[in-house]
A and B are shown apart, each in its own frame.
Chain A
Amino acid sequence: MKGIKLALILGLAVVLVAAFALPGCGAPEVVTPAPGEEEAPPAPAGPIKIGINFSLTGPKAKFGSMDRNSIEIAYAKFGVEEIGGRPIRFVIEDNRGDPATAKSAEEKLATLDKVDLTIGGYSSACGVTQAAAANDLGVPHILVNSSKDAITEAGYEWAFSGPRVPATHYADAMWSFVDEVLIPGGVSKVALYYEMTDWGTSSAEGLRAGFEERGIELVYDTPYDSLATDFKPMLSTVKALNPDMIMAVSYLMDAGLLARQAAELRVNVMAYMGQAGGYTMPEFLELAGENVNYTFTTANWSPLAAWKGEIAGVKWTNKEYYDAYVESYKAEPDYHGAQGYAAWQIALDALLRIDAAGNDINRENIKEALEETKLMTAMGLIEHHNWTDEMGHSYTNQGLPLTYVMQWQNEVQEVVWPLAGKSADYVFPVPKYEER
């Protein structure tokens, strides 16, 4: 009888472990992003396999889905279905936003599926494990969004930052806005709060240094749990400290709740600045309603940016990507999507250059081609190289896309900085909640 009990318990345990661990490692979903088309006859060398490792389900699925959708749009736009007689095939893995699953999915793509290149997205915690696994297994990996600085500071030769902005550089455009507008306008005390993840803490590090360098007093500097229902205790403390500006690093749900609850508590400041993330997502408006108005946010991309170029003989513009996304998915993309689009531009450019040089498309040659990437993309000019910033971060294979400051005005995001690219004038200081 004891044996039966033991077998039952073990059986249940196995089922549970499988439920937790295996969804990211199931049978691979091998698809071409243009459904309905007949497959070309298999080429002798086999297809060029591209591994896609995104969070397609779970709380971070919004970001991963936007990445995947944008890659599909880019694939359809440039229409390159085979290179050197080898068809392009995508092997898609859903890492559920879980770092351990992201790692095992990366390992599966590299070893079982034997992909030539992997493209990995949201979030930073997943990016850390994906990049490490790709580097260990010697498969070139393009990071799409995962912005924790440490990922490209680790010296990984096989990981390429692609269109991603390191977290401490999200606010690059914001600093000139702070220097030229906010400080002269009276901002001298800032409350900084950030969600407790790799991205949040990495971002806070750069923000803290930037404010301190400018002599701005940080009257509040605290991490928070992004899954909390109620941020009022934190916001009440911030209100009592009476800062001139709030700087927030938030994902989507917490960004929406913070905007709502700051309005409820009337936490009036001269400027509420979000560091990209949830503040740029179109769903921020859906979640926070009219409370989005006057919120500033740093952003890594704008549909208004005049980026354009030509890949595989196909001319493209940044605005075309935005329009195609809206038409295909009936929703607006934000910078996460643009990074996905740019990731396929970078990958395709590398593959085409290898083929044009008459070389085989394999992992080694893809790595070498990515090292030489210098390409205009939907995120601006991307150039992979090694460099060190003024904060002492030494990056490998890292580009640096331009950043912007946007402001929600009348429930629409407007580019307000740099002035050269503005779509509307900034509103600063912002009106008090009771006067809106």
Chain B
Amino acid sequence: MALFGQTFITGILIGGIYAIIAIGMTLIMGVMKIINLAHGALMMVGMYVCVVLFASLGLHPYLSMIPAMIILFGIGYALQKYSIDRVFRIETILPESQVLLTLALGLGITEIIRLIFTSDYQCTYTPFSAKCFYAGGMSISQPYLVGFIIAMAFVAGLHIFLSRTDLGHSVMATAQDRDAATYMGVNAGRITNFTFGLGTALAAAGGAILLPIYYVFPDVWHPYLAKAFIITILGGMGSTVGALSGGLLLGVAESFGATYWSPGYRDVVGLIIFLLVLLFLPGGLKKVIGR
């Protein structure tokens, strides 16, 4: 029973962190209808901002998360406005090319970071990184728990923002029908830039939450980009609740797969879910949840 409980808790906690990384991608995908393959690389940049602030000012990643989010919001906004949008506006360019552009941006960002920081692993290990609660033969890692709570707070905040504020309504309207939103007076271009910046800032938050329990190096983002993509498909594009549910489901499924099948196949579990959702639930959990 302790093994089952430990597996479930571990899955939920890591799933919450997956969700915060994926929610930015699902937001961007919902509004722009393109896959942002630079999302993982931008998360990695956020992690490096935190590492620099940790090394220079001794700021814990939970604190440096705020400046990292602000910086990454600016980077995301600028990338969208001066790069992706320019390609987006040319009707003769296929959407596939826009996706390739985001991939090229991701690779370019990675190599720039490699030039600056080299490929060395960087970490922000503190005694807190190994703190745990123990109960009923199970352990709950404090950095995982705090990361999960922060992630949930961001998801809740984003949900309230999107459902209760005018700006949030504009984002949702642009996501639902860009042309109709424009006719209703929404500046769809500016909203798209804002959404890309917001999604990127959330990716930075996810990276900052990961730092106390993981490491950063320029290629760290590859598996997280894949997970964010799976969660976006699983949860449904543009849905915060869907992304949260998808993140938790993926985390728990991977955890149970690693415990009861094989740790070598934990990613296979995610891919199987991905395929099943595509085949039997093309709209993702959003269709089931209705949000």
Contacts and interface: CB of A to CB of B under 8 A. Distances in A.
A13 B97 CA distance: 9
Interface stretch (B26-34, B116-124, B152-160): B116-124
Contacts of B267: 225
A289 B213 CA distance: 13
A-B pairs, top 4 by smallest CB distance, nearest first, are A233-B258, A61-B119, A224-B263, A233-B259
B10 A230 contact: yes
B248 to A, nearest CB: 14
B94 A5 contact: yes
B88 interface: no
Nearest to A240: B3
A257 B215 CA distance: 9
A231 interface: yes
Nearest to B115: A57
B173 interface: no
A16 B3 contact: no
A237 interface: yes
A89 interface: no
Contact of A12 (B97, B219, B222, B262): B97
Contacts of A289: 125, 127, 129-130
A231 B263 contact: yes
A4 B92 contact: yes
Interface residues of B, number: 50
A243 to B, nearest CB: 14
A328 to B, nearest CB: 17
Nearest to B6: A236
B259 A266 contact: no
A42 to B, nearest CB: 33
Interface string A14-39: 01100100000000000000000000
Contact of A19 (B3, B107, B127, B254): B107
16 contacts: A8-B97, A12-B97, A12-B100, A13-B100, A16-B107, A59-B219, A61-B119, A193-B263, A223-B263, A224-B264, A225-B263, A229-B210, A229-B214, A233-B257, A253-B215, A289-B125
Nearest to A200: B264
Contacts of B11: 233
B2 A240 contact: yes
Contacts of A261: 141
A236 B138 CA distance: 9
Interface of A: 1, 4-5, 8-9, 12-13, 15-16, 19, 57-59, 61-62, 193, 196, 222-225, 227-234, 236-237, 239-240, 252-253, 256-257, 260-261, 263-266, 283, 286-287, 289, 291
Contact of B215 (A19, A61, A266, A287): A287
A266 B130 CA distance: 11
A266 B11 CA distance: 18
B114 interface: yes
Contacts of B134: 266
A299 B223 CA distance: 31
B121 to A, nearest CB: 6
Given A8-B97, A233-B254, 15 more contacts: A9-B100, A15-B104, A16-B104, A57-B114, A57-B119, A62-B121, A233-B6, A237-B3, A240-B3, A253-B121, A260-B130, A265-B6, A265-B139, A287-B125, A289-B125
Contacts of B103: 16
A5 B96 CA distance: 11
Given A57-B119, A61-B120, A230-B255, A223 B264 contact: yes
A253 B118 CA distance: 16
A58 B110 CA distance: 10
Nearest to A224: B263
B117 to A, nearest CB: 11
B279 interface: no
Given A229-B214, A233-B255, A233-B256, A222 B264 contact: yes
A228 B266 contact: yes
Contacts of B217: 59
Contacts of A230: 10, 14, 255
B2, B93, B223, B263: which has the most chain A beta carbons within 10 Å? B263
A263 B129 CA distance: 11
Contacts of B264: 196, 222-225
B288 interface: no
Interface in B123-146: 123, 125, 127, 129-130, 132, 134, 139, 141
A5 B93 contact: yes
Interface in B238-266: 254-259, 262-264, 266
A235 B96 CA distance: 42
Nearest to B126: A289
B130 A264 contact: yes
Contacts of B214: 229, 257
A266 B264 CA distance: 22
A57 to B, nearest CB: 5
A192 B284 CA distance: 39
Given A58-B119, A61-B119, A237-B259, A12 B104 contact: yes
A291 to B, nearest CB: 6
Nearest to B118: A61
B257 to A, nearest CB: 8
A227 B219 CA distance: 11
Residue picked from A225, A239, A264, most chain B C-beta under 10 Å: A264
B100 A233 contact: no
Contacts of B219: 58-59
